[in-house]
Amino acid sequence: MEGRMQNFEELLADFRSKIEGAKYVAIDTELTGADIAGQTETFEDEVGERLSRLCDIAERHVLTQLGLTVARDHGTGIQFITYSVLCFPGTDRDSFECRPTALRFMRQHGLDLNAWVDGGVQYVCRETAEGSWYNVGDDPPEQCGLLRLWHALIKSERPLVFHTPLDLLFLLSAFECRTLPRNPQDLTTLVKNIGGIGIPCIFDTALLHLVVPALQAKPQKLLELTRTAQAVWQQALQNEAAADVNFTLEERTQQRYGQQLEVGLGPGNNDSSCCSTGAHEAGFDSLLTAMLFMYLWAISGTDKVNLFRDRLFLFQSAECLPLKNLPSGDPGRGAFDFLDGTVLVATMSAESRDVSMRTIAGGGHERCFYRKMDESRLLVFVHGKNDQEIVEHTRELAVQMPGVFWEGLDAWRNSVMQRRAAAWQANGNAARQQTPLQDLLQQQVQKHQQQQHQQQQQQQQRRPQPQML
């Protein structure tokens, strides 16, 4: 169902009726910008640094479109009901940034910018409206616009599913507080206490797909990943290694997206950017996210899926953003913590990187997979059911990749933090007093060293990384 200012009351009533008893809700957004010029993401970033950048993006830009897909039990399967709402900032916001590339991208994928301005449902932030426009604890009144839909979603206490964390941060900045907390623990507190209710649990399919070995080899765009997950599920079902699931689309969802879904997920379509598929329209992408979660759940089962609850994907990172307060050294902070194997950093010449990537890919996803770090480094995850198998697989890789220097992820992180601290020291002079930032960098080095020690003492059952080769 498509929503604009003219039919928002009808959409809201329909959403409220459908959300009751839903299994989960998948969400996607379209935005006036998804990055900030001059800022880049690297594997050297700390989680706090990355969160701060994502919050900057969410605070400077605004929503243009909100897509929600409600997944409900329906007979012996699941029914998907999709809503796509044009959104426009309300009276509590007098300016925002708009990236030209983002506007061009949205136009290329069918967004009517005139309709966005003229018919977008306005929204205000809870911190602005609550206490002045309505009493704390009450339902937001009509003048709050799209905040009422968000409030209904939070009141339903359903699990929420995203594909990357930026959508969640945009929603928090739009509907809860303009200035977002930069500390992961403070962000967790916000998420778990929204409206005095909080979001019970969140899943991020950009991270969750790691639960399926056949999907680990490389991160993929949403449409490609959903198509691949569907094929893996079909094969696993034939081998009696996955749950049998079937789904239907609610009538209006079928009319709006049925043909696009058939084109996008049909055999022989490998174009994830094809406009005819509906990709990058918020409603369609929320439907894909809902389906992807269904397939991952059917392949892996509830226990494995729950390992990834309240953990958000971070691009160009070996860590994730946990929306739970974890003691230092506990599993769950690393993106690969719940996989059988170990994480290594492979350093090589830029000229040999492509050959190295082909060698790793040729070994098969059941043995290893990689992520590009920079022009001379790869992050390599080596599978193994026990220490001996991990070391064996790593030695085989090393033999096939001569001239590559291998080190454990923790050792590489410590060297990065020491190099950063030393660089700050070198930029000053002996007489200059140490700055708070230098103190912070040294604290981060000490923190990594403490975490490494705690992992050895508190998590003895976890497999140690193989010795450097």
pLDDT digits (tens, 9 = 90+) for 283-306: 999 999 999 999 999 999 999 999
* Distance of alpha carbon 128 from alpha carbon 143, whole angstroms: 12
User: For residue 280, is pLDDT > 60?
Assistant: yes
For residue 193, the number of C-alpha atoms closer than 13 Å in the C-beta half-sphere is: 7
Instruction: Identify the weakest region by mean pLDDT among 92-96, 224-228, 375-379.
Output: 92-96
Q: What is the mean pLDDT of residues 364-370?
A: 90
User: For residue 430, is pLDDT > 50?
Assistant: no
Q: Do residues 294 and 288 lie in contact, with contact meaning Cβ atoms separated by under 8 Å?
A: no
Tell me the three-class secondary structure of 34-82, residue by residue: CCCCCCCCCCCCCHHHHHHHHHHHHHHCCEEEEEEEEEEEECCEEEEEE
Write down the mean pLDDT value for the chain: 87
* Distance of alpha carbon 326 from alpha carbon 333, whole angstroms: 8
Pairing of strands 121-123, 311-312: unpaired
Kindly list the distances between the CA atom of residue 360 and the CA atoms of 65, 345, 374, in Å, as whole numbers in the listed order. Answer: 40, 13, 16
User: For residue 449, is pLDDT > 60?
Assistant: no
Q: Which residues pair with 78 in a beta bridge?
A: 73, 247
Residues 6+ apart with CB under 8 A from 277: 223, 260, 263, 264, 269, 271, 284
% the chain with pLDDT above 90: 68
* Distance of alpha carbon 24 from alpha carbon 76, whole angstroms: 17
* Distance of alpha carbon 129 from alpha carbon 135, whole angstroms: 9
Q: Which one of 69-73, 215-219, 435-439 scores highest in mean pLDDT?
A: 69-73
